[in-house]
Amino acid sequence: MKLALASDHGGYALKEAIKKHLENRDIEIIDLGTDSEDSVDYPIFGKKCAEMVASGQADRGIVFCGTGIGISIAANRYKGIRCALATNTFMAEMSRKHNNSNMLALGGRVLGLEEAKEIVDIWMDTEFEGGRHQRRIDMLD
């Protein structure tokens, strides 16, 4: 699996910690930046990640900003992207089971590291249920 990661300055520290957490899994990580806590614009990094996923260059993506809200909005502007903002494990699980989310958004200023790791692990490991949910996803695109 190829997983793209991107963040603005508010999500940079969490992105780096999650990247390290994921290194122990059989995943190719594509880090699209940012590379510091210097102020940058989240739409640029949401777009980079969404384009990678939408084009098939990455299987899924995780984006980070201060709350996860802005960068999730930026990512969801692209056809074929279903970026779910998750603040707990239940949201992460359901975003995969029912919405087949292909991107996850996390907030570096609202989540603790251990909580974020749990959210990522559940999101990575949960499969899409298909069935009646596929019909609804088809309506999105």
Instruction: Indicate which residues carry an active-site annotation.
Output: 65, 98
| First vs last C-alpha separation in the chain | 24
Closest CA to 126 of 104, 95, 105, 103: 95
